[in-house]
Amino acid sequence: MIKPDRIVTTTCPYCGVGCMLNLHIRENVVYRVTSPFDAPANKGNLCVKGRFGYDFVHAKDRLTQPLMRKNGELVPATWDEAMGHVASRLLEIRDKYGPDSIGFLVSAKCTNEENYLLQKVARGLIGTNNVDHCARL
């Protein structure tokens, strides 16, 4: 049997049950997923997605660099270029049309911390309550 380099305990990214996972990792590949028997929500049980649904993490088409639309095409850009453009366009639009012309969709797949910070950007920096996500969908 393959011996893992490390086993990392984390929380499943699929549904709202919140199953605890042990990711077995060898050479930076998740090759096996188990769950501790004393996990509070799932007691070691996992569904087919929770046990076998992680190829997406290693997918070849993961985004690895910022992209910007130039002449109608999305082309690679540096972080400074991309972020600078995002910030200046948001400010322009905010100044021209007012803060409520901008909307932020946070994410039911992202962490609490990320969601908190993005709504803080919306409310505290742009000055809009136009913050929502797919909770209704």
Partner 1 sequence: MTNSIGDIHLADVLLVTGSNTTEAHPVISLEMKKAVRQHGAKLILIDPREIELSNFAAIHIRPRSGTDVALLNAMAHVIINEGLARKEFIEARTENFDALKEVVKDCTPQWAEDISGVPAEMIIEAAQVYGRAGSAAIFWAMGITQSSHGVDNVQALANLALLTGNFGRPGTGVNPLRGQNNVQGACDVGGLPNVITGYQPVIDENVRAKFENAWQTSVNIPPKPGLTVTELMNGVLEGRTKALYIMGENPIISDPNTNHVREALEEIEFLVTQDIFLNETAQMAHVVLPGVSFAEKDGTFTNTERRVQLVRTALPIRGDARRDLDIICDLGKRLSGSNGKTSSDVIRPVTDWNYAEASDVYREIAALTPSMAGISHERLVPNGLQWPCPAPDHPGTPILHKEKFTRGLGKFTPLTFREPIENPDEEYPFTLNTGRVLQHWHGGTMSRRSEGLDWVVPEGEIQINDEDGVRLGIETGDMIRVTSRRGEATGKARLTDKLPRGMVFMNFHFAEVPANALTGAGVDPVAKIPEYKVSAVKVEKI
Binders of partner 1 in range 47-86 (CB under 8 A): 47-50, 52-57, 59, 61-69, 74, 77, 79, 82-86
Number of residues that bind partner 1 (CB under 8 A): 100
- Structure tokens, 81: 């270029």
**Residue 29: its H or E element:** strand 29-34
Amino acid residing at 35: S
Listing DSSP states for 57-79 in one string gives GG-TT---S-EEEETTEEEE--H
Strands 73-76 and 6-11, sheet pairing? unpaired
Residue 28 binds partner 1 (CB under 8 A)? yes
Pick the closer one to partner 1 by CB: 1 or 137: 137
Minimal distance, residue 3 CB to partner 1, in Å: 16
**Residue 52: its H or E element:** helix 48-52
**Residue 91: its H or E element:** helix 79-97
Pick from 2, 26, 31, 41 the residue near partner 1 by CB under 8 A. 41
Contact call for residues 119 and 104 (beta carbons, < 8 A): yes
Pick the closer one to partner 1 by CB: 1 or 45: 45
Pick from 2, 18, 26, 31 the residue near partner 1 by CB under 8 A. 18
Residue 2 binds partner 1 (CB under 8 A)? no
| Segment 93 to 132, residues that bind partner 1, using CB under 8 A | 93-97, 99-121, 123-132
Pick the closer one to partner 1 by CB: 2 or 83: 83
Residue 33 binds partner 1 (CB under 8 A)? no
Contact call for residues 104 and 112 (beta carbons, < 8 A): no
